[in-house]
Structure 1
Amino acid sequence: MDGLRGFVSDGRLVRLPARQSRRRVVLEQVVRSFEPGRRFPEKEVDVVLRAWCAGGETDHVTVRRHLVDEGMLSREHGLYWRSGGWVDVLGC
């Protein structure tokens, strides 16, 4: 969680780090909002990401693009699904 300081506050994205390694840590946190194994229409993805970006410096479209570029979300025919990121299979 320490890698998120300055970038995430109260469950909201303040800004995305410029450095890719730090940005990846932040995106790992954001992608946890998407249930693995489920397909999401773009509108639903945007609702989740707008909530993350509310009041911050980064818009939801930029975050969505980074999630896809980093291989955390995949997209086809207007549907998105979680394809990367850490998954807590034990519920810890």
Structure 2
Amino acid sequence: MTDGGARGVQALFARGRLIAIPRRVDRREQLLAHLSETLFERGRAYSEREVNDRLRTVHEDCAALRRYLVDDGWLTRSPDGGSYLRAR
């Protein structure tokens, strides 16, 4: 992510918490990239509970964030649906 993108993402946070999930696709994509890079390690499998716990550190609606991360290809679900991996 470029420095401009990182600074833009920081504007979405107050006191370490996400103020709101952006509706604009480009802003949301910047946010998802940031969350993927800062909350999830490459090559490590996470249970749904672990994903939710990590996302809840920044916003209460962890289900919406998880869904966006999966739908936009930042996280992938295992075939059995039991775990998630950082995809990009």
Calculate the TM-score normalised by the size of structure 2. Answer: 0.82
State the AA in 1 paired with 2:67: R
Which structure has greater helix proportion? 2
| Percent identical | 38
- 2:54 pairs with 1:48: yes
Structure 2, gaps ≥5 residues long:
1-5
Runs of 4+ in 1 over 4 A off after TM superposition: none
Calculate the TM-score normalised by the size of structure 1. Answer: 0.79
Which structure has greater strand proportion? 1
Partners of 2:55 and 2:17 lie apart in 1 by: 10
Structure 1, gaps ≥5 residues long:
85-92
Secondary structure of the residue aligned to 1:37 is coil
Cα RMSD of the aligned pairs, angstroms, is 1.3
- The equivalent residue for 1:27 is 32
In the alignment of these two chains, the number of paired residues is 80
- Cα deviation code 1:30-78 (max 9, x no counterpart): 1121000110111111110111114xxxx10000000001100000221
- The equivalent residue for 1:36 is 42
- 2:79 pairs with 1:74: no
